[in-house]
Amino acid sequence: MNDQKITTSVLPGFMELLPADQIRFDRMKAVIEETYRSFGFLPLDTPAIERSEVLLSKAGGETEKQIYRFTKGDNDLSLRFDLTVPLARYVSEHANDLNFPFRRYHIAKVYRGEKPQKGRFREFYQCDIDVVGRERLGLAYDAELLAVIYRTFSALQLPKFVIRISNRKLLVGLLESIGLSDKAEEAMRIIDKMDKVSLVETKESLKDIGLKDDKIKLLLDFVGIKGEPKTVLDSLAGLKIENRLFTEGLAELSEVILQVAAFDLPVSCYGIDLAIARGLDYYTGTVYETILLDYPKLGSICSGGRYDSLASNYGGQALPGVGISIGLSRLFYQLRELGLLTLAETVYAKALVIPFDMAAMPAALAISMRLREAGIAVETYLEEAKFKNKLSYANKSGVKYAVIIGEDEVKGNFFTVKDMESGEQEKLNAEDLVGKLGE
């Protein structure tokens, strides 16, 4: 140890919360986890460090630049930038011990050394689920994920949200059918950004990559098809596009829409949006995005899709999968900025137990332990301090009740319970106190 002064601020681009916000954050995390579990997803917790070759084999240009990479001994190591590549490695490694279709959730931190900007973090939580099949995986799993997203955001009590679904084969097939396969990637990237720019700008961008006016019109007509899922599917069939991919995509999307009906979700919570391309991702079929209707600028708060094979470059059999991901750190940050944090708990303790002086300490400790035995979280104020400082601590901590124990209480074998908000006080015996706080 030395005595020099050291910068104590958290690193730029890293999120660090005060306890009240941390409790709100943890509560959101717990609600997501509980929902994932309610569908029978299994937990995974892989190391945050992987061999660089494992991560880099899947990383694109930007991701590769953002990676935290280092050597330790002879090992070339990196911090994971997502939870999908570790899943691929895990499934390849443990395939013989897993039950397929393998359903896992993984809620953990990932690392990307992006330029710090508002609401973007270099360390952030992803909350992922994936279902991975061996050789094949039915489309009912794609439908189930809609139900998972719906239940998750309902449980989080988020404002009006809508899950948008499409199938990437439709757009790719369409582009193929009009002779634009070589422009597919660029075109999809432009379409992905459509809802962030004006229609004129989108047209300009499509022109810039060499698309003729008639093809631009065709493309924009296609992504502009709106309505109830059934209507959209009919319109798509009506286009009579003769292309293998397009036909497959339409059949798959129809099947997913058919299957999802059985989950009995409110029809307003999901819809087909043909403009979803997820151009930078590795999806090959179904694609999802989730939007807060009144806050479209937040972009998608839960995205995902289906991929042909999770781990093609680890050799072995095809592992088709479908998954979704919630970027929780960013979502939390955005909701907080908007004043939309709905899960309002900011303290775990139901009460602060305050001995008036040290003579009352044994009684304070005894009732605290009894409350805990009854499953009620309480904190005991243990420091010697003026009573007014103890009350001010209770105020600042945000507990709903203070349980005060002084000479009278010890003698009379009762407790004074103060409602910290209303200031009201009542005297209760131990049993009634347990009853009141356990409500």
Of 99 and 117, CB closest to a second copy: 99
Segment lying near a second copy (by CB under 8 A), choices 108-116, 172-180, 187-195, 206-214: 108-116
Whole-angstrom Cα distance, residue 373 to residue 390?
24
Q: Does 428 bind a second copy (CB under 8 A)?
A: no
Whole-angstrom Cα distance, residue 104 to residue 96?
16
Of 152 and 243, CB closest to a second copy: 152
Find the binder of a second copy among 6, 61, 242, 424 (CB under 8 A). Answer: 6
Answer for the pair 43, 106: CB distance below 8 angstroms, yes or no: yes
Q: Which of residues 376-395 bind a second copy (CB under 8 A)?
A: 376-380, 382-384, 393
Q: Does 65 bind a second copy (CB under 8 A)?
A: no
Q: Does 117 bind a second copy (CB under 8 A)?
A: no
Answer for the pair 342, 156: CB distance below 8 angstroms, yes or no: yes
Segment lying near a second copy (by CB under 8 A), choices 34-42, 176-184, 216-224, 401-409: 34-42
Residue 98 one-letter amino acid: L
Q: Does 221 bind a second copy (CB under 8 A)?
A: no
Q: Does 151 bind a second copy (CB under 8 A)?
A: yes
For the CB of residue 68, give the shortest distance to a second copy in the complex, in Å. Answer: 6
Q: Does 25 bind a second copy (CB under 8 A)?
A: yes
Q: Which of residues 287-326 bind a second copy (CB under 8 A)?
A: 312-315
Residues with Cβ within 8 Å of residue 405, at least 6 apart in sequence: 353, 354, 355, 356, 360, 363, 364, 367, 415, 416
For the CB of residue 73, give the shortest distance to a second copy in the complex, in Å. Answer: 7
Q: Does 177 bind a second copy (CB under 8 A)?
A: no
Q: Does 94 bind a second copy (CB under 8 A)?
A: yes
Q: Does 366 bind a second copy (CB under 8 A)?
A: yes
Residues 58-65: contacts with CB within 8 Å, 24+ apart?
58/84, 58/85, 58/88, 58/313, 59/85, 60/280, 63/112, 65/113
Q: Which of residues 243-282 bind a second copy (CB under 8 A)?
A: 259, 261-264
Give the pairing of strands 351-355 and 401-405.
parallel
Q: Does 439 bind a second copy (CB under 8 A)?
A: no
Residues with Cβ within 8 Å of residue 57, at least 6 apart in sequence: 85, 313
Residue with tokens 């497959």: 248
Q: What are phi and psi of 316, to 5 degrees?
A: 80, -165
Find the binder of a second copy among 61, 99, 200, 421 (CB under 8 A). Answer: 99
